[in-house]
Amino acid sequence: MKLTKWPKHSFMILAIVATWIKTVIVYHTSFELKLENAMQQFILFINPLSFVLFIYGLSLFFKTPKIRNRYIITISVLLSIVLYGNVAFYRFYNDFITLPVLFQTSNFSDLGTSAAAIINPWDLLYFADVFILIIANKYLPRMKEAVKVNVEFRRAFFVLAIAMTFLNLGLAETERPQLLTRSFDRELLVKNIGTYNYHLYDIYIQSKSSAQRALADGSELVEVNNYIRSNQAASDENKFGKYKDRNLIVVSLESLQNFVINNDMDGHEITPFLNSLTKDSDTYYFNNFYHQTGLGKTSDSEFILENSLFGLGRGAVFFTHGGNTYNSMAERLGENGYFTNVMHPNNKSFWNRDMMYQSLKINKFYDVDSYTVEEGQAVNWGMKDIPFMEQSAALMKNMPQPFYSRLITLTNHYPFTLDPEDVMIPEYTSNSGTLNRYFQTVRYMDEALKDFFQDLKDQGVYDNSIIVMYGDHYGISENHNKAMAQYLGKDGITPYDNALLQEVPLFIHIPGDGEGKEMEEVSGQIDLRPTILHLLGIETSKDMQLGADLFSPEHEDFVIFRDGRFITDKYVYAGEACYDKATGEQIDVAPCQPYADRATTELENSDAIINGDLLRFYDEKTGNLKQNAVK
């Protein structure tokens, strides 16, 4: 039988086409990429090609077909791993993986049920092109024939690859100006330059940020300091120092979004205890408060609370900059006689907390070894909320006062599972098991908080404390928009809706205050540090912080998200579009532009402080640069 005569370089061409087409299919089936016009569709279609041409084209420099084909198969395996890694990461975080995240390996052993919920047997299809190449290499002999590569062909091939690169970048720049210099949104990068080129860009940015600290000096802090001072809000005269020397208890409410507050699910009240606090005369409930976290999720919310700075756009500050100099809320409280501690029944090394807490000047970390986890009390990455909070209240009884305790809850964590004895309401009925279970774990956490308040009273700690509780980040990602639309009674979830769904609850409960009310200020986690310190009578006018006191008459209704979106009292900026906040109607972008510029400036200022470790040059007591800070 006559063997098929394959064209020259058939194996390389097969690899290029297979990887290209697979990547495009994955874009459309595994990622929720918002495409608004035909040009964006075309860019998404061609953007894998330039990198694929380059990486497989290197095989043209190998002399023998055996080595050439092995190289091609190896590259196919590596690209499939990179692509699948992004798919798995996207399923959990609704985002794309970054280089710093790849080095967070100390977290991987704790993923447990979360990883099991992400991976399924059908995922082998993400390696379909690898299987095709292996079969072709084994059973199609002509593909293994020696092919002489002349210089002209090689030159023409790489000219084509370069041309594709410039075509891709040119179209991307037309569609999204300053994409590579001002974008904080990884989805935009992947949509425009592709997954593989995005990772090359990520390596470049990581290298650049690593060099920033080595080359930084105090002169970079002058402009940042001037910006912060010019946008500073004064404290509220009536509230400042009113609760001096009270204990401070801060509870980070895992994955709690505000849409469950004062709401029900199929007739079942979701958060009866928290609902009661919204009407409590000792509680200030902020109903326009937003999380501002990035890939660091809970650790980002910790970082923002402590420092009134944003996390980074590419990973968790707790990992990438755990050794920096900071002027945390814990440090300021410690300087004012507080015993500062964090309570979290997980391994102390998770999210690099044991190292980062030293940088934040936290006196003690009550990790899992500080608790007695009895049979049936373990959940997700630690301990169920009810026994955790009960034991935490008991520990507080013996702490030196005043103390600052920050508790991090765990039960309401993806994939939102409960033991049967802990279920208090039935599951929701939608196409999303995640959302269906979410209501049950939220209800359990609410019960734990009710018990916690009683535990504090029983331990004699409640009356002389301020209790701050806030949602740390979203629980339901955009991957579940269809189910969320069903629950909210909408036809679909728009970028405007998604921005508003980043709202998380904030409760500031002050026993005996009697002036509590529902607060309408548009605000975010970055405002917590100045607000709390002012309530306790600690001045922050010389601190390097980006937030503002929520009780200040000068507080502005403006909250910035880590990816550059923002919300004001009038506008919502999301998906590169401006919306009227009251109606949800898309409007001309002009009213949003000044806020967009400010959002970029604030994010860049925060990044500069962190990447350059600039606070090592700053004297927070005088508000000036340290001597010899400028090289």
* pLDDT value, residue 3: 46
CA separation, residue 496 to residues 210, 294, 489, 501 (Å): 35, 18, 15, 9
CA diameter of the chain: 95
CA pair distance 566, 585, nearest whole angstrom: 16
Backbone angles phi, psi at 249, to 5 degrees: -120, 115
Helix axis angle for 38-46 and 151-175, nearest 10°, is 150
Residue 508 CB: number of other CB atoms within 10 A? Answer: 24
Coil, strand or helix at 549: coil
Terminal CA-CA length for the chain? 78
How many CA atoms lie within 13 Å of 566's alpha carbon, on the beta-carbon side?
Answer: 25
- Which of 98, 271, 293, 298 is the catalytic position? 298
Q: Residue 344 pLDDT > 80, yes or no?
A: yes
Q: Is the omega angle on the peptide bond into residue 100 within 30 degrees of 0, that is, cis?
A: no
* Residue found under tokens 């292996």: 134
Which DSSP symbol is given to 282?
Answer: T
* pLDDT value, residue 117: 62
CA pair distance 75, 129, nearest whole angstrom: 11
Pairing of strands 586-587, 283-286: unpaired
Q: Residue 21 pLDDT > 60, yes or no?
A: yes
Give the pLDDT band (50/70/90) at residue 114. low
Q: Residue 365 pLDDT > 80, yes or no?
A: yes
Q: Residues 355-359: contacts with CB within 8 Å, 24+ apart?
A: 355/322, 355/323, 356/299, 356/318, 356/322, 359/322, 359/323, 359/324, 359/325, 359/326
What confidence tens digit (pLDDT) does each residue in 125-146 have? Answer: 999 999 999 998 887 766 555 5
* This prediction's pTM: 0.77
Contacts of 422 (CB under 8 A, 6+ apart): 384, 411, 444
* pLDDT value, residue 315: 74
CA pair distance 271, 46, nearest whole angstrom: 48
Helix axis angle for 195-215 and 49-57, nearest 10°, is 80
* pLDDT value, residue 594: 96
Complete edge-to-edge strand list for the sheet that includes strand 518-519: 364-366, 339-343, 403-408, 247-253, 465-471, 506-509, 283-286, 518-519
SS (H, E, C) 94-160: CCCCCHHHHCCHHHHHHCCHHHHHHCCHHHHHHHHHHHHHHHHHHHCHHHHCCCCCCHHHHHHHHHH
Q: Residue 535 pLDDT > 70, yes or no?
A: yes
At residue 294, what is the residue type? G
The DSSP code sequence of 212-223 is: HHHH--THHHHH
What confidence tens digit (pLDDT) does each residue in 435-478 have? Answer: 999 999 999 999 999 999 999 999 999 999 999 999 999 999 99
Whether 298 sits among the annotated catalytic residues: the reply is yes
What confidence tens digit (pLDDT) does each residue in 37-58 have? Answer: 889 899 999 999 999 999 999 9
